[in-house]
Structure 1
Amino acid sequence: MTIFRDADTDLGHSNAPARDRAATTRTPIDPQRLRRVKKSYTTRYTAASLEASPSGHHLLAGTEVTPREGDLVVARVTEIGKHTRLEGPGSRRQLLFPGDEVLLAYGHRYAPDQFLAEVPADLGRCHLVAAGGLAGTVTAMHASIDEPTAIEPLGLLADEAGVVRLERHAPLAVTPQTWARSAPGPRADGPLVVAVLGTSMNSGKSTTLACLVNGLTAAGLVVSAGKATGTGAGNDAHLFRDAGATRVLDFTDFGLPSTFRLDAEQVLDVFGSLVAALAEDGPDVVVVEIADGVYQGETSRLLADPAFGSRIDHVVFAAQDALGAAAGVTELRRHGLPVAGVSGVLTASPLAAAEARAALDVEVTDTYELCRPAVATALVPRG
């Protein structure tokens, strides 16, 4: 173990005086040990770089080191809880054992069915808050789930350039949507853009999006798909590919472990950058999921931004019941968004679907009916 005395504050994100930072430790990590560390899905781009070139890294630790969202951390699993497996770079679920060393990204998490978690103020013991590879401190949790898996951070992964952050190896970068903030209005010609939103987590958004992609693809259209907000995980991206999307991206491709607690402008920038990247190959349709429910903080601010509406041709809304469907459609229309129809979990119940149809003046479509080309193209016509 060596004592790190560099004055570059970015290496430890510390605002402490130089005499206090002198206690910060920099411990070289053996390349073979680094290769054996279990990598997570969220860290997949860094994992590929480490596999090719693992030398020259160290762990930055000490009481003056303050982690930030997006910093990579090597941690030891101390107690298995809710998450018994870690989703790997290729989305294989790796069984976790006490004592395993894992590569995670610090990040905030908002998941009403699981955890509310935040990036801690230090490198003390914390939690694995998402199977995709998020480290944070749980501050609230759903009453029905197990305690979070406990981890002991060993240090931020760093090299001579500083702390390794997700954005360093991400293939894409978020671009400020200056046009949208200055004068949002009709966009230039491009693909049809469809947004899929829902009442809440687990309302059927991802399945609805996948079935819509499948139906549009079966109709002969070229479709790209993505997820603009949420917590990093590979399940949805693979689902969209399996459904037929020719290109699939999400916010992790832009170096973000999650989008919780981004400010309104940042969320708009992520959404606009994602749509632009998905449109680059000239698809006929771009379909984008917005995570969680319409009242979630980042989502509600995005919906209220006129620039968001200016990029959307149709909205498909996923709901768990008829009341949620009616309230959601009302809220979307309050913001002037073009609601094409409702689908999601409620359509698994004929009675719930019938209630929704009686209450709404838009189509209520069984999720798997969206796989039929005629149904998909009728719901989101191209003009």
Structure 2
Amino acid sequence: MSRRLRRWQAECLELAKIHYLNHVDFFVQATPASGKTRLAAEIAHWLLEEERIDFVICFAPTREVVAGIQRTFTAVLYQRFGDTLASVGAAYTYQSMEHHPEDFWTLFTKYRTLTIFDEMHHCAGHDPLLSNTWGQKIIQRIQNAATYTLALSGTPWRSDDLPIALARYSNPEGKLICDYRYDLQTAVYDGVCRLPRITLIDNPLIRLTEETENTASVRAFSSFQQLLGESPISYEDLLRHDDVLNAVLDLGIDRLNQERSSVPNAGGLVVATDIEHAHQIAALLHFKGESHVVVNSQTPKAHQLIDQYRHNSMRWIIAVSSKRSFQDVVDLLHVPERSQ
């Protein structure tokens, strides 16, 4: 793999070299799909070359992300990097923390390790009583044992307001302190990420038929906002309504056709609310003659399907809007071979 780095990666790498001279923990917030895994591999490469560590151990939310880490680290380190420690390092899912034998945890005390946490916001807590399972393991087994830690996150906050494990917060404001921050605005300016464009869709002629045992009444609404505020219809109902889905998909198909006029293998990403919704969308795309693939947390060998999509001419990929599968797709799709 070429050693050429993006500007932010090179800048963050140099900062990490200085930081690790006097500190153990390094926290990086970088916008999704900006290249955090490559940065982590470069930091590991430097620590190994400087003979500051013996092993690199990574944790990530899913098997698909773990597989991506293994590929990137193998290429950057020019050494075997697998799912066992018969190499310079290994990557594991956070779920695996609950099943490692005692011998695994002694690695952190017997050897010098760089421990990397991908999407660190999944791990909550600063003390064992107010932590989730993964946060507890980090506090009990890694926090005071790892030689160095590197925490990465694209969205460094939690909806339950619990602190993120290993993170530092300002006092009394309670704001997360990042050692390096690379936000979306800067990533767009650098050409690393694309400027998000939001298209609002509404309907001024909505008709809702409400039936009782003996009568049926029709109510008119001038917008989706009015419909949601003045009827029993929920946003979830709209997302699963075939007419709404068809309207949105038709707009997406038109836009993808425009993109393909200049980028022949451009692809489209559809985000579903759950697996059932994903297959509903897939059925509609199939009816329209649109080639597609569905990828979710239950898809066998999902990362292989994503890799295939990156390099073929299939038009659509459908992911589920969860903390796991959606981010897997976004991270793995962010390569120059395919327009998104």
TM-score (norm 2): 0.29
Structure with greater proportional helix content? 2
Structure with greater proportional strand content? 1
TM-score (norm 1): 0.27
